[in-house]
Amino acid sequence: MRFDVLTLFPEIFPGYMSQSILNKSIQNGIVEIHIHNMRDWTTDKHNKIDDRPFGGGPGMILAVEPVVRCVRDVRAMDDDPGVVMMMTPSGQRLCQPLVEDFATHHRRMILLCGRYEGFDQRVIDILKPIEVSIGDYILNGGEVAAMVMIDSLVRMVPGVLGDELSSWDDSFSRGNRMLEYPQYTRPREFEGHNVPEVLLGGNHSAIEKWRLQESLERTKIRRSDLLPEPNNESATAETPNTKSET
């Protein structure tokens, strides 16, 4: 999977790319991340890429010409032109089923990171990017949102995780659209808090039943919106395996 990140602040990314699972995936050639400075596509001697909005108002707007030139040139850098995605609070909300859909259908993604008051509307009109939001809040720029996108997507790429089943039962994931059950490790007791006995007995059927019940209870309390309608009892019991991925 290849990511091309278009940003005004490329220096934000090296530390992120050098850590943990992502770094190993890059070193192993499973994932490619290319960072491009949109200022390199300006024609102004000062590399000016923003300007005041027509009609007045606070802040500055990213100009259409250098951004469109940048995207077109970057798309031509690989045989696969990829899909352009814009990180913006007005986009569709990022969720695990959407991540799975992107990972299934796109090998290359070009991520546009906005700054200031955002992009000239003509960037959207001309490039027709997929607009994606990571939540109902405002960031200083799209770089952190792009990192969230990359982090969520690379987990879907075969060979990235040590165990291919690691992501299957994660919260919101294909094997479990509910919240994940509690997890424990050594020691068995700490400050009066004990590991549930069912996890220590080796009865895998009982363990699976306990995990399903804990997942259901946690979801009821914290995210009841994830559960099927109350009158659909069979769907509730089978939620980890039967809820739609779309």
Q: What are phi and psi of 33, to 5 degrees?
A: -130, 120
Lowest mean pLDDT among 45-54, 72-81, 164-173, 233-242: 233-242
DSSP codes, 137-169: S--SBSHHHHHHHHHHHHTTSTTSSSSTTTTTT
Answer for the pair 126, 68: CB distance below 8 angstroms, yes or no: yes
Q: Report which residue type is found at 59.
A: G
Q: Are 157 and 110 in contact (CB under 8 A)?
A: no
CA distance 157 to 179: 22
* Between 179 and 91, the higher pLDDT residue: 91
For the record, the structure tokens of 202 come out as 């080796």
* The one catalytic residue among 39, 108, 155, 177: 155
Average pLDDT, the chain: 90
* Domain locations along the chain: 2-154, 168-246
Tell me: the pLDDT tens digits for 214-246? 999 999 999 999 898 766 544 333 333 333 332
Give the pair of three-digit tokens for residue 220: 């009821």
pTM: 0.83
Query: Distance between CA 92 and CA 129 in Å, rounded?
Result: 12
pLDDT tens per residue across span 166-182: 656 565 666 668 888 99
154 or 240: which leads in pLDDT: 154
Domain 168-246 listed as CATH 3.40.190.10: no
User: pLDDT tens-digit profile of 180-202?
Assistant: 899 999 999 999 999 999 999 99
Instruction: Determine which one of 75, 170, 174, 228 is catalytic.
Output: 170
Which residue in 89, 101, 151, 218 is the catalytic one? 89
Domain 2-154 has CATH 3.40.1280.10: yes
